[in-house]
Structure 1
Amino acid sequence: MDVTGFAADGYQAVREVFQRLAGDGRETGAGLSVWRDGHEVVRLEAGWADAGRSRPWRADTLVQPYSLSKTFVALAALVAVRDGALGLDEPIAGHWREYGVRGKEETTLRHVLTHRAGQPRFPAGAADVDLLDDARLRKSLAQAAPEYVPGTSLGEHALTYGHLVDGILRAAAGTTLGEMFNDVVRPALDLDAWFGVPDAELDRVADLEYADPDWPRQLHAAPWLTIPAGALDVERTNSRAWRQSVFGAVNLHTTATAMAGFFARLTSEDGPVHALLGPRLHTELLAPQVTGFDEVFGTEVTWTLGFVRDRGKIAKGGIGGSAAWWSRRHHHSAAYLTRRLADHSRAAEIAAALGDDLAVVGEDSAR
């Protein structure tokens, strides 16, 4: 497959890796962006945006990066904290009264944002709920007992994260996750990213496809992703109804340039994230909050309020292979977004060409 775009001087090795991924068939549609010193120094595209292979991947192709979406759910929640609607450490039940039952009376927003609320999956009672019935899914979480005492264990809230925050925002701030992101967060950060893709942008969305038909069952996180059915079913996730819904944990649609640009400005004290949240919450967002063995990741993880953090990077990825990060060592950002659902080895090879280590970014990280 042809690779289009550009790579500045000094980034030829990155281009060669990307070209190899496209040439050997490991990639069928992806975008790569790298930013340094406020400028995009690499923007490369390869492959096709559709299953029929009639639409070449473009710089503005939108794709669903699964759990990379959670970063922007966290930002929406923190805007509500900024506005005084609730605090990070006060019980959610003070606002969402239906939620405060069966051991969840003291659960806080900080527990939710750091994946310690004890609800890493929807309860078994939600097995018959449709994937897009967000009201019933929220209700199932409100009525369920947590799997562990909130704050005592750790496991990425793989599909529940967005519904939990949506319930909190509805109760505490009188708004929805989709409204808070699309009306406040997205314009403030000038992001080409959407929860609920508008009609005018649908023709930019890439179709997801499996690298291996058995991929959904091979995931370490598979037990946490089965309820409700369909989140890994490409027939559902490629549908217009899904693309225009808000399933906050996984279905943001965005571009590689948008994600790398966001991470490029993430830590800056004169950047848009700092301006959106203010100094206190910006510091909270990026600071290590908890380190432990994440049952869903299957490895040791340090969570901030919206990212995975280690000595080398601040990052987030998602099942399927998409990832974005800020390199704390080299002071560049990068995003690799793909429609071909496999592991993170492709993004890891891109990272290695940049001198970065991409271990532990998502539920199927290269380890």
Structure 2
Amino acid sequence: MVDGSCRDDFAPLQSLLESHLASGEDVGAAVAVVHDGELVVDLWGGSARPGVDWTRDTICQVWSVTKAMAGLAFLTLVDRGEIDLDAPVASSWPEFGAEGKDRVLVRQVLGHTSGVPGWSTPVTVTDILDLERSEALLAAEAPWYEPGSASAYQIVCHGHLLDGIAFGATGRRLADVLHDDVMAAVGGGFRLGVPEDELSLCADLINPPPSSIDYAALPPDHFLLRTVPNPLLTPEVCNGTEWRRGAVGGAGGHGTARGIALAQSAVSHGGLVGGTRLLSEETVARIHEPQAEGPDLLLMLPLRFGIGYGLSSPSAPAIPEGAAWWTGYGGAIVVNDPTRRTTVAYVPNKLADHMVSSPRTDAYVRTALECVS
């Protein structure tokens, strides 16, 4: 039922995956661990979609783990001096300075404090797949609240904001930076925009149980109600070819646990992946600079954001102090622990009731880190 490789001291992690697949807690899933520069766990199993096994090269949408991948690619541009974290966004993307946003800083976008967590204009899935159009709408937005004063999770538009800055500064789309400068260096395994000849590798997402959030109890102008349905991204939409071919850097990335863990291990290994330096130690250190701490205005949870990543938080009890991480709707996660020189990635196709934490995902993270200890 489970295939791949697992070093003996990580056997409890393999047992956990096997038990979850046997019980139906997972239908198809993969987990990978990079420790001290070595890929010590690379496991997968179950079904990618009805009648199709999950294989070594199966890729699955990881929702907001895409944000960590987009953030990593963006930080390579920072590292090369093409973008200044402390500069106004408008210095690279002049149109973004509209409606009083001229003082919003690049690092505030990376820390979810831009003041623009979504679109006020009604948008469709087709609209947000058109990056030029949807980024222009974000540039024209008036801030929903005082930028920099708190986080309001940029639930779908985060990748659009980063792409707008990257394109303005370099003339390159962030998806191209991710593919050509990051993933090519680690042997692939993550796509922001699945090419036609790789669509057959995609696992189908399986609907989660009903949400524990009581949406009816929220005031009609709550940020969650202004963003989640605009546009509504259901598993049915995300299992479609149009969405998979798109490059929505806040939610639409598809990858293997192995590819995610290898690329992200730069953050837990001082910027190095094998013999390749993706980031300087100075840039890695900036990831851990807090940009926001406290109740998030959209997710309604106490969260801490650094630059491009979440930091340890009471809302995510499995995340160790000092880690840089993020997770995706339904349960996918990547955790970079520089203290242990360890990166853990988990990719499921069966979605759980999970925004930033849930028992299934927490068990994978805790088990992996206990094996290191």
Fold equivalence (TM over 0.5):
yes
In the alignment, which residue of structure 2 is the partner of 1:316?
326
Cα distance, 1:259 vs. partner?
Answer: 1.8
Alignment TM-score, normalising by the size of structure 1: 0.86
* Structure 1 residue ranges without an equivalent (≥5): 357-367
The equivalent of 1:149 in structure 2 is 146
Q: 2:367 aligns with which of 346, 353, 362?
A: 353
- Structure 2 CA distance for aligned equivalents of residues 17 and 200 of structure 1: 33
Deviation at 1:226, TM superposition (A): 2.5
Root-mean-square deviation (Å) = 2.6
Give the direction of change, closer, same or farther, for the CA distance of 1:127–1:11 in structure 2 (3 Å limit): closer
Number of aligned positions between the proteins:
351
Q: Name the structure 2 match of 1:18.
A: 17
Cα drift, residue 35 of structure 1: 2.7
* Cα distance, 1:304 vs structure 2: 1.9
Q: Per the alignment, do residues 353 and 93 of structure 1 end up closer, same or farther by CA in structure 2, a change over 3 Å counting?
A: closer
Gaps in structure 2 of 5+ consecutive residues: 313-320
2:44 match: 45
Does structure 1 retain, via aligned residues, the 8 Å contact 2:158–2:249? yes
One-letter identity of the residue aligned with 2:148: G
Matching of residues 103-252 of structure 1 within 5 Å? 103-126=100-123, 130-212=127-209, 214-215=210-211, 223=225, 225-231=227-233, 233-252=234-253
Contact 1:216/1:222 (<8 A) preserved: no
CA distance in 2, matches of 1:165, 1:104: 15
With the length of structure 2 as denominator, give the TM-score of the two structures. Answer: 0.85
- Report the secondary structure of 1:49's partner residue: strand
Amino acid at match of 2:249: G
Are residue 254 (structure 1) and residue 255 (structure 2) matched? yes
Change in CA separation of 1:218 and 1:54 when aligned onto 2, cut-off 3 Å: farther
In 2: Cα distance, 1:252 partner to 1:189 partner: 17
1:278 and 1:327, CA in 2 relative to 1: closer, same or farther beyond 3 A?
closer
Q: Which residue of 2 aligns with 1:276?
A: 278
Structure 1: how far apart are the matches of 2:327 and 2:156? 14
Runs of 4+ aligned residues of structure 1 deviating over 6 Å after TM superposition are 216-221
- Cα deviation per residue 1:40-64 (whole Å; 9 max; x = unaligned)? 33332221111xx211011221111
Name the CA distance, whole Å, in 1 between partners of 2:226 and 2:43: 34
Structure-2 separation of matches of 1:3 and 1:243: 26
What corresponds to 2:75 in structure 1?
78
Which whole-Å CA distance do the structure 1 matches of 2:281 and 2:5 have between them?
Answer: 35
Question: Which residue matches 1:362?
Answer: none
CA distance in structure 2 between the aligned counterparts of 1:329 and 1:85, rounded to whole angstroms:
29
For 1:359, the equivalent position in structure 2 comes to none
Deviation per residue, 1:248-272 (Å, 9 max, x gap): 1011111011122234342323614
Change (3 A) 1:42 1:276: closer
Alignment partner, residue 95 of structure 1: 92
Q: How far apart are the structure 2 equivalents of 1:270 and 1:76?
A: 12
Return the offset for 1:352: 2.8
Aligned equivalents of 1:76, 1:105: Cα separation in 2: 24
Determine helix, strand or coil for the equivalent of 2:180. Answer: helix
Q: CA deviation at 1:15?
A: 2.3
**Cα distance, 1:216 vs structure 2:** 9.8
- Residues 116-138 of structure 1: per-residue CA shift (max 9 Å, x gap): 00111221444697342333221
Measure how far apart 1:328 and its partner are.
Answer: 4.7
| CA spacing shift, 1:148–1:77, aligned 2, 3 Å | same
Report the CA distance shift for 1:272/1:226 in structure 2 as closer, same or farther (over 3 A): same
- CA apart distance, 1:218: 6.6
Contact 1:5 1:44 in 2 (8 A): yes
Structure 2 CA distance, aligned partners of 1:179 and 1:263? Answer: 17
Cα distance, 1:269–1:6 mapped onto 2, change above 3 Å:
closer
Q: How far apart, CA to CA, are the structure 2 residues paired with 1:98 and 1:320? A: 34
Task: Output the CA distance in 2 between the equivalents of 1:261 and 1:318.
Answer: 18
- Indicate conservation of the 8 Å contact 1:230/1:237, yes or no: no
Structure 1 partner of 2:303: 301
Deviations 1:310-350 (A, max 9, x none): 21532211111101113355443221101111123212112
Distance in structure 1 (CA, Å) of the matches to 2:294 and 2:212 = 25
**Matching residue within 54, 57, 73 for 2:54:** 57
What is residue 65 of structure 2 aligned with on the other side? 68
Bigger Cα displacement from structure 2, 123-132 vs 240-249:
123-132
CA distance, structure 2, for counterparts of residue 8 and residue 279 of structure 1: 28
